Amino acid sequence: MAHVYNRVALIGLGLIASSMFWAMKRGGLAGEVTGYARSAETRETAREIGLCDVVYDDITQAVEGADLIVLCVPVGVMGQVMEQIAGSLAQGATVTDVGSVKRAVIDQVTPHLPEGVHFVAGHPLAGTEHSGPKAGFAELFDNRWSLLVPSEGTDPKATAKLRALWEGMGANVEEMDADHHDLVLAVTSHAPHLIAYTMVGVADDLRRVTDSEVIKYSAAGFRDFTRIAASDPTMWRDVFLSNKDATLEILGRFTEELFALQRAIRQGDGDHLFEYFTRTRAIRRGIIEAGQDTDAPNFGRGAGSKT
């Protein structure tokens, strides 16, 4: 397969960047892949495991001559990073990102975008609870969705090329409006993470239940909450601060539904509970039928599974 890009620069070398590197290598999608991470320790680890063809200590060197630059940094610092690299970008290059919020990222990045450089915001809906350069693997994006949010006036060719890269890495690709993306993700990812963090926090607060009991008797429901709540704290802090409106709207709706269920339990309204649980069960079936998870026990996450 011919290269989609001659030179790709990965800025930030965590789970997504490392998985992109291995997926690009697997598919022969890039001529050369350069990398940069803020932490010297991360750069050293990347070199040890052969992550990227060259890892630079200087961010501007990493992006020089690249025809695709991927910002794999927390959404709170996207603007600062873009400002740092703006003067070193090649004419005609495309910049993209992998952040979980899109409107805030577009607003941060666009003011620093040089003339003749394209910005196509992106978000691969894939991940595990593990982070860091060693966490990546080539199959992470296989049959997962990658959403592209091209800015107004972006050359459709730049978007088509990025789509070809993601498809080459195994992903299904769809284009979406930034505000719609942020609302969808508030439902499917952001609010569930906040609820998981809260539930694990509640268990920690209930001193009547000792830590060893919470750990020893963890049922599947709580275990899955802890898996979600093990995600990267910096990333999630930035997500909630950057997607404030949509997250608060969904949490408001969640609170209303929760109150309705509390009332049903208090009043012994079994019909309400049964109907509600039957309706929500269908959503799980839909996810399995769409190939986005398996119906194996324990949420399809067997021992040693990376999904």
Buried b / exposed e across 61-94, counting CB within 10 Å, b at 16+?
ebbeebbbbbbbbbbbbbbebbeebbebbeeebb
Q: Same structural domain for residues 194 and 166?
A: no
In the chain, % of residues over pLDDT 70: 94
Report if residue 143 sits inside a domain.
yes
Confirm if 210 and 221 have CB atoms less than 8 A apart: no
Q: Same structural domain for residues 128 and 33?
A: yes
pLDDT of the chain, 307 residues: tens digit per residue: 579 999 999 999 999 999 999 999 999 999 999 999 999 999 999 999 999 999 999 999 999 999 999 999 999 999 999 999 999 999 999 999 999 999 999 999 999 999 999 999 999 999 887 889 999 999 999 999 999 999 888 999 999 999 999 999 999 999 999 999 999 999 999 999 999 999 988 887 776 666 677 777 777 788 888 888 888 898 899 999 999 999 999 999 999 999 999 999 999 999 999 999 999 999 989 999 988 888 876 544 544 444 3
Task: List the beta bridge partners of residue 97.
Answer: 71
Please give the biggest Cα pair distance in the chain. 67
- Quote the pLDDT of residue 47: 98
Structural domain harbouring 197: 180-268
What's the total number of domains in the chain?
Answer: 2
Report if residue 255 sits inside a domain.
yes
Tokens found for residue 119: 């910005």
pLDDT digits (tens, 9 = 90+) for 148-203: 999 888 999 999 999 999 999 999 999 999 999 999 999 999 999 999 999 988 88
Confirm if 58 and 47 have CB atoms less than 8 A apart: no
Tokens found for residue 270: 């079994």
Q: Same structural domain for residues 160 and 221?
A: no
Confirm if 11 and 132 have CB atoms less than 8 A apart: no
Report if residue 29 sits inside a domain.
yes
CA distance linking residue 66 with residue 92, whole number of Å: 10
Q: Same structural domain for residues 144 and 192?
A: no
DSSP 114: P
CA distance linking residue 263 with residue 267, whole number of Å: 6
Q: What is the mean pLDDT of the chain?
A: 92
Identify the CATH number of the domain in which residue 24 sits.
3.40.50.720
Confirm if 226 and 301 have CB atoms less than 8 A apart: no
Report if residue 76 sits inside a domain.
yes
Tokens found for residue 233: 């704290």
Confirm if 82 and 112 have CB atoms less than 8 A apart: yes
Confirm if 82 and 90 have CB atoms less than 8 A apart: no
Confirm if 173 and 4 have CB atoms less than 8 A apart: no
CB atoms within 10 A of CB 170: 18
Confirm if 52 and 35 have CB atoms less than 8 A apart: yes
Helix/strand/coil (H, E, C) string of 43-96?
HHHHHHHCCCCEECCCHHHHHCCCCEEEECCCHHHHHHHHHHHHHHCCCCCEEE
CA angle, corner 257, sides to 253 and 262, nearest 5? 145
Question: Which has the closest alpha carbon to 114: 147, 84, 76?
Answer: 84
Report if residue 60 sits inside a domain.
yes
Report if residue 213 sits inside a domain.
yes
